[in-house]
Structures are given as structure tokens and as C-alpha cells.
Amino acid sequence: DGGITQSPKYLFRKEGQNVTLSCEQNLNHDAMYWYRQDPGQGLRLIYYSQIVNDFQKGDIAEGYSVSREKKESFPLTVTSAQKNPTAFYLCASSIAGAGGFYEQYFGPGTRLTVT
Amino acid sequence: AQSVAQPEDQVNVAEGNPLTVKCTYSVSGNPYLFWYVQYPNRGLQFLLKYITGDNLVKGSYGFEAEFNKSQTSFHLKKPSALVSDSALYFCAVRDRRRQTGANNLFFGTGTRLTVIP
């Protein structure tokens, strides 16, 4: 988990509220990613960013939004439009490059519970 | 199209015995393959990767993986399992669906390894 921090570790919200999850990295990586993990489904990509001020939708972007104003930071907002927001959210970063063979480094995760 | 499959949800092995966690893949072009481990309520930790070269890749904590092109497999192995190896293991393949230069990964559903003392 070194080099990437996510806060808070546990987050509780009422249905209908937007919530923002923090992700910060000090690895000097250009690329950052957000995943959602649900039991038995592995990791699914929500959004990713290859460079500051640019980001792309992943496989399950609906109901989520991101920003990338700084290289170190890639916050994820879970909006009220997300139908099933309760999950474990993981942030990752990697070197960006044309090769596509750089591993990703993960933060410790945020467990979001919406009731 | 691409996919990665981990056919076993759960693997149990006795401490000291060799362990194998299976992964098969389907990709177009050369596969870039990765293994990660996740301990409870933690993020994923990188173990090893295969890009090119030797089919036997050595990684962290004594783990290794064997790339087999004819069987499209990339099984994770360790000669002697430790109780502390008990965790969730993910196989991943480079996701080629998106823009060139992206290091996106497509993950399998995970295999829970339990090492029995």
C-alpha cells in the first residue's frame, strides 16, 4: 500500500447523498485508476486518468464522477445516481507509457456503506 | 476480446505443501499477465508479471508463475505454503480495449487461498 493513501477507511452515508472518496499518491505516477470491488466479482474499473486534467470512463462509470486537477490526487465522487454504491473502493496508480506493461500500485481501500 | 479466468473460487492446501492457483487467459496479441494478492480489508499487492522472456517468472514472497502459451495459462505457484500466504489472489491481463498507452488491467474474479496449519 505504500505511496498511495485513501481516506477515510470506512465511510457511511445515507441514500441520496453524494460522497467523495480521497486518493493521493506520492509515487510521481502519471496514471491513476479507480476500481470497485464486490464479493465474487473481482475488480471493475470505474474511471482512469493518464495525465492531469484528463480522465476516461471505465466499465462502470455511471453514477460516478472524478477530477484530476493535480498529479498527486484523483478523488472519486459517488453520486446519488449510483444505484448500488455500497462496495469496497480501490484507487491505484502506475507509470503511464505506450508499452502497457507497468504494474499498478494500490491504496488500502475505502469501504463505503450506504443505507 | 479478452478475458481472464480463475476457475477455482477456493483453494485449500496444507502448510509446507506446494500450492498452485490457476489462471487462464484469452487475449489478442501478446499477453501481459500479472498476479496480485489481497489480504483482508487491504489493497492489492503486486506479486509478479510476465511480459516476455522466460516462461517461469519469479516474484515476491517466494511466489513464481509459469506462462504456458499453448495452454493459455499463467498459474501461480509456491514450493512450500505458509499459513501467512492465506489471502485472495487475483490474476490480471493487460486490457487492450482502450487507448494506446494505457496500462489498464482486466482482473479475474479471484481465488481464496487457505493454508491449513
* Contact call for A31 and B110, based on CB within 8 A: no
At residue B103, the pLDDT reads 73
For chain B, what percent of residues have pLDDT higher than 70?
A: 94
Cβ atoms of A24 and A4 within 8 Å: the answer is yes
User: Would you give per-residue pLDDT tens digits along chain A (115 residues)?
Assistant: 459 999 999 999 999 999 999 999 999 999 999 999 998 788 999 999 999 999 999 999 999 999 999 999 999 999 998 999 999 999 999 988 766 678 999 999 999 999 9
pLDDT digits (tens, 9 = 90+) for B37-77: 999 888 899 999 999 889 999 999 999 999 999 999 999 99
Tell me which chain A residues have a C-beta less than 8 angstroms from the C-beta of B36: 106
Residue B65 burial (CB count, 10 A): 27
* Contact at CB, A42 and B49, closer than 8 angstroms: no
Touching check for B29 and chain A: CB below 8 Å? no
Above 70 in pLDDT, residue B87? Answer: yes
Cell numbers for A69, please give them. Answer: 486537477
Number of residues that make up chain A: 115
Q: CB of A31 within 8 Å of any CB in chain B?
A: yes
CB-based contact, B28 to chain A, within 8 Å: no
Asked if B94 and A92 come within 8 Å (Cβ–Cβ), the reply is no
Give CA separation, A52 vs B3, B111, B116, in Å: 30, 35, 46
**Nearest residue on chain A to B52, alpha-carbon basis:** A101
For A10-38, write each residue's pLDDT tens digit: 999 999 999 999 999 999 999 999 999 99
Averaged pLDDT of chain B:
92
pLDDT range class, residue B99, cuts 50, 70, 90: low
Per DSSP, the three-state class of B115 is: strand
Contact present, A31 and A93 (Cβ < 8 Å): yes
pLDDT at B30 (0 to 100): 83
